[in-house]
Every structure is written in structure tokens, then in C-alpha cells.
A = this chain, B = another copy of it.
Amino acid sequence: MQDPGASRIAEPPGRPGRRRDPSVDDRVIEATLELLVAGGFEAMTMEAVATRAGTGKAGIYRRWGTKQVLVVDAVLRSGLGASDSVVPDSGTLRGDLTAIVGSETAKATRQKTRLLEGLLVVIREDPQLRAVVTNALIEPRVAAIRTALDRAHDRGEMSSSVDRETLAAVLPSMLFYRLLVSREPVTRVWQHEIVDGIIAWAQRR
């Protein structure tokens, strides 16, 4: 799944010398994500990561060969997007969508989106990173919505002529746009307005 040539540099087992401090790994990954969320790929300088993690650049390059590799690993280990993996069947489309909308805290949504924003620049010219970001951050949520829509379709709650792939993109699209472009707050009311809209869309004749 993961390109071995572009991933973390492993610590060879059974060799002499001092062992790597595992806490450095965690601190670096954490600092990387914080800086990416705060200021994007450009603001995330290796110097800043090292300082924030309380280590030196050498310690980072000993584990990750390049900045790109570090970013990929950080995204993979961010855990963002994990909350979307389970979708309990509530029995109605509204119930499922409400659950999905509520599955993430507002803070998590903001972090995920800002992380995505910070990576947009690099994503443009790095297909590998794009794939990683898509799989780790975006696809889980779209998949959850798709599942909800499929269930609604099976229950006959939804018109067959509606393209479920397009409809599944509505909520992520509007979140993305609101957080990055119009920059208005993501409120409960706003989210439920969208859920209502999606339901109407699903039931169109």
C-alpha cells in the first residue's frame, strides 16, 4: 500500500550503538501536523519542526529522508478521517447523515480541512502524496455518505435516477468551500440545512 521507497527509514535491528528514542518520532509527527495545519507546507520548515519537537534536524533526517516523506507519514499517522469509518444503520437517511455530520467535532473538521488546504500546493505536483491524502482524509467520509445513500436507495427512500456519486460529494464540497473560501463558521444549523437539502435532492422526481 505504501511506497517503500518513499517511507520512513527503519531502524535496522540487532546492531550496536544507542537506540533511537521512540518519543522523538511522536514529537516530530505531532509538530509536523501542527505546523501543517497552522501554516501549510511552506510554513512547515524542517527547522521549525525540529525546534518544535525539541530535537535537531539530524534526528529527523535519520528517520525520514526528505520533507515529502515526512509529510506523507504524518498524514498517514494523523488519525484524521478515522472517525468516518463506521456508519451505524439508523434506519433512515436523515438519521445516517446526521450521525455522519456529528461524528466529527468541529475542531477535527477544521483541522482536517486546514491540513488539506496546506497540502493543496504540493498535492498539485505530487501524485503519490495526492493519493495518500485522498485515501487518508477524504475518501473515508465520502465512503460513509455513499454507504448511507446506498442504504437509502435499498430502502426505496431515494430516486434511482439520482447519481449517488455526485450527491455524496455535496457535503464534503460545501465544507471545504466554506472553510477555505467563504470562511464562515460551520454551525449545527448550517449542517442540518445541508442534510435537509441532500434528502430533498435524493428524493427528486
- Copies, count: 2
Q: Across the A-B interface, give the 5 residue pairs with the lowest CB-CB distance, nearest first.
A: A200-B204, A173-B177, A197-B201, A173-B173, A173-B174
Interface residue A74 (Cβ < 8 Å from any Cβ of B): no
Interface residue A143 (Cβ < 8 Å from any Cβ of B): no
Number of chain A interface residues as a range: 35 or more
Say yes or no: A197 contacts B204, CB within 8 Å. yes
At the interface with chain B, which of A20-28, A80-88, A162-170?
Answer: A162-170
Say yes or no: A169 contacts B197, CB within 8 Å. no
Within 155-205 of A, Cβ neighbours of B (below 8 Å) are at 162-163, 166-167, 169-170, 172-174, 176-178, 180-182, 190, 193-194, 196-201, 203-205
At the interface with chain B, which of A10-18, A47-55, A93-101, A116-124?
Answer: A116-124
